[in-house]
Structures are given as C-alpha cells and as structure tokens.
Chains A and B, each alone.
Chain A
C-alpha cells in the first residue's frame, strides 16, 4: 500500500514538472496525468526480497479435550521472511495456513490486554510482545505453567480472577467525599505512589512464574493479586487501609512469598510485584499486627 502512495507522489511530481516546463513540446513527453494508481500498476506485484527462506521450527503444546490422550509437542515450520516479528504473528500464521485447530487467546496484539500470556522458551510473557528469536534454534511454546489446561494454549484463569476479586479491588470509603458530588482530591505525590501498580494488566505471567504460587495456588494470593492489594492499600483516597491489611495478614495469603522475585523477571510490563509485596510486609510490621 505504501508503494502505491509513492507511485502517486511520483506521478504528481511528474505532472507538476510537465506544467512548469512549458517551453518544451508537451506532446513529446508522455506523462501520466492521473494521480491515482492505474490498473496496470495495481496488477504489478512487488518483487519479494530474493534469496532463500529463513525457516524456523516452533514446538507447540497441544492437548485436545475431545480426543483426550497425553499432551504433545507438535512441530511447525515457519518462513520468518513471510511472518511478522512477534510470536503471536507466527501463531496466527500457523492457525491460518497450517492448522486451524490450534487454540490460543489473543485480542489487542499490542501488549495491553494480557490475553496472549504464555510460556515462550521457558519464560512467561505476552506472545504479542515477544520477538521471535532469529537463528535456527527451535522455539518451544507452552501454556502458563502449573495452570489447568482447557485446550492447547488456553488455561483456566478462574482461580486467578477469584483471588483478584477476593482483595476487593475498588475504592472503599467510610465518609462521603469532601466536596459532595465532585471527585475526591488527591495530590500529585499521592498519585505518584500508585505508579508501578496501576499499569498491571492481569496477564498472570508473574503469578504463574512464582514457585510458591505453583505449590499453593489456592491459598497463596500470588504476586498479581498482592500487587493490586498494595495498589488499594497505598491509595490515599481509600479509607479501609487497616481492614485491607488485616484481610491479607495471613500466613498463607501473604507470607508464602519468600522473595523469589521471579515475578519481577516475568512481568511483560516491567512492573515489580515483589517490591510491592515487600511494602505490604513493612506496613504489616508498623501497623502492629
């Protein structure tokens, strides 16, 4: 499409030049008058970069609940020259051209929705933000570790969402706002305290990279839920701080965190849930629990 625009510009330029150079016999020069691409040009195909193809093998975890057997790693070969740079592009290409039964979640393709979280070459991340590693090595794509698999790369996130719901992630106040009907004022410094927590997209990359969460998924809240708990605890507009701290001051809900800090490594948005959990633990100490 961009090439058509360039051609259009060239056509316009040639038209301009023909009008200014008026002394020359205009009939002798054949210039395309129309600025739009002609049908002939539309039929022309851009010559592809010649040279061999760059093949890469993807090993993708497959399990179908309708034919329930052991899960398998299936190989797919993709030509990287005909594929976008991200792992999600490769998955979509495989689904379109090779195997339409490949199942995975995806939505925004720009790293903001958190749907395409999966384990790529051993590290949790978003498929739409992870570049395909160039080179002949095989890329292994598996679902998020230690989560129940519904099909292929789709995992059951209900436990994760229930844990997020359990910390009550909404503003709770005892008194009405100081200016009735208007917003609750918050200084810039107080708003800056929320930076590094509000950006969380609930992709579950951090929680599913935490070994402590693997061994206690039902009782330990996990880095994502605790990050959001800290977000509401640190919010100056929220008045239920003490109750929130007491709710998670539990040996399992909070103190299963042993500062393994895999969460900070896995987060595709660059957040640090481990730091926020440290903050909660410090608050618990000073709150006299």
Chain B
C-alpha cells in the first residue's frame, strides 16, 4: 500500500509541503495573536484542498501552488499582519428593467 506521506513523495507533494512550511515560518515572524490566526486559516485551507481536490488534477494543483506562492510573498512583507477571506456567494443578479 502506498503511504501518501512517508517515503517517495512526488515533486508536487514536496512543493505543497514546502509552501505550507513557508506559511508557518512567515506566521512565526508575526505577533502571537496574528500568528495563531494565520496558522488556523492556512491549515484549514490546506486541509480543505487536500480533501476536495483530486490528486491527479495537476492543472488545478499547480494553479493553487502559484496562487499560494503569491500570497506567501505578500504575507512575508513586514506590513502585513494577517490573513482574511471573503466568501462570495454566487448569486445571479437580475438586470433591473428601467
């Protein structure tokens, strides 16, 4: 049986793990309260994606990796103090007829 974590991590898995490590390290440089908030958001996001996203969907995983790297670069800047996310519900807006 293949261990998903353990020996023989694929290149993409290694990239995901190093991105996660990068986020946790960046969180460590922030004040304590923000650190906990960042860690909780980041770990929730990674766990959600690991359950929802198919392992073989390379296109989407690479897209998420690039997105994550950009967000990590922003987080590393000393001006940034935390993360937040907005849930945009996809409601169809009807055009008001004048």
Residues of A close to B66: CB separation below 8 A: 148, 156
Which residues 150-197 in A have Cβ within 8 Å of B in the complex?
150, 156, 158
Shortest beta-carbon distance from B92 to chain A in Å: 10
Is B60 among interface residues, defined by CB-CB distance under 8 A?
Answer: yes
Q: Which residue of A lies closest to B73 (CB)?
A: A158
Question: In the complex the two chains form, what is the Cα distance from A113 to B57 in whole Å?
Answer: 35
Question: In the complex the two chains form, what is the Cα distance from A286 to B15 in whole Å?
Answer: 44
Is B59 among interface residues, defined by CB-CB distance under 8 A?
Answer: yes
Which residues 66-121 in A have Cβ within 8 Å of B in the complex?
68, 70-71
Question: In the complex the two chains form, what is the Cα distance from A49 to B70 in whole Å?
Answer: 52
Q: Which residue of A lies closest to B64 (CB)?
A: A65
Question: In the complex the two chains form, what is the Cα distance from A69 to B53 in whole Å?
Answer: 11
Q: How big is the B interface, by class?
A: under 10
Which residues 27-82 in A have Cβ within 8 Å of B in the complex?
63, 65, 68, 70-71
Q: Which residue of A lies closest to B90 (CB)?
A: A66
Q: Which residue of B lies closest to A66 (CB)?
A: B90
Question: In the complex the two chains form, what is the Cα distance from A158 to B53 in whole Å?
Answer: 25
Which residues 125-154 in A have Cβ within 8 Å of B in the complex?
148-150
Residues of A close to B70: CB separation below 8 A: 158
Residues of B close to A156: CB separation below 8 A: 66
Q: Which residue of B lies closest to A156 (CB)?
A: B66
Residues of B close to A68: CB separation below 8 A: 53, 57, 59-60, 63
Residues of B close to A63: CB separation below 8 A: 59
Residues of A close to B53: CB separation below 8 A: 68
Q: Interface 1/0s, chain B 29-60, versus A by CB < 8 A?
A: 00000000000000000000000010001011
Of A65, A70, A158, which is within 8 A of B63 by CB?
A: A65
Residues of B close to A149: CB separation below 8 A: 63
Q: Interface 1/0s, chain A 253-270, versus B by CB < 8 A?
A: 000000000000000000
Question: In the complex the two chains form, what is the Cα distance from A158 to B73 in whole Å?
Answer: 13
Question: In the complex the two chains form, what is the Cα distance from A63 to B62 in whole Å?
Answer: 14
Residues of B close to A158: CB separation below 8 A: 70
Shortest beta-carbon distance from B86 to chain A in Å: 14
Which residues 65-83 in B have Cβ within 8 Å of A in the complex?
66, 70
Question: In the complex the two chains form, what is the Cα distance from A150 to B62 in whole Å?
Answer: 11
Q: Which residue of A lies closest to B54 (CB)?
A: A68
Shortest beta-carbon distance from A102 to chain B in Å: 16
Residues of B within 8 A of A (CB): 53, 57, 59-60, 62-63, 66, 70
* Given A68-B57, A68-B60, 15 additional A-B pairs, CB 8 A: A63-B59, A65-B60, A65-B63, A68-B53, A68-B59, A68-B63, A70-B59, A71-B59, A148-B62, A148-B63, A148-B66, A149-B63, A150-B63, A156-B66, A158-B70
> Which 3 A-B residue pairs are closest in the complex by CB-CB distance?
A68-B60, A65-B63, A68-B57
- Please, could you name 12 A-B residue pairs with CB atoms under 8 Å apart, sorted by A? A63-B59, A65-B63, A68-B57, A68-B59, A68-B60, A68-B63, A70-B59, A148-B62, A148-B66, A149-B63, A150-B63, A158-B70
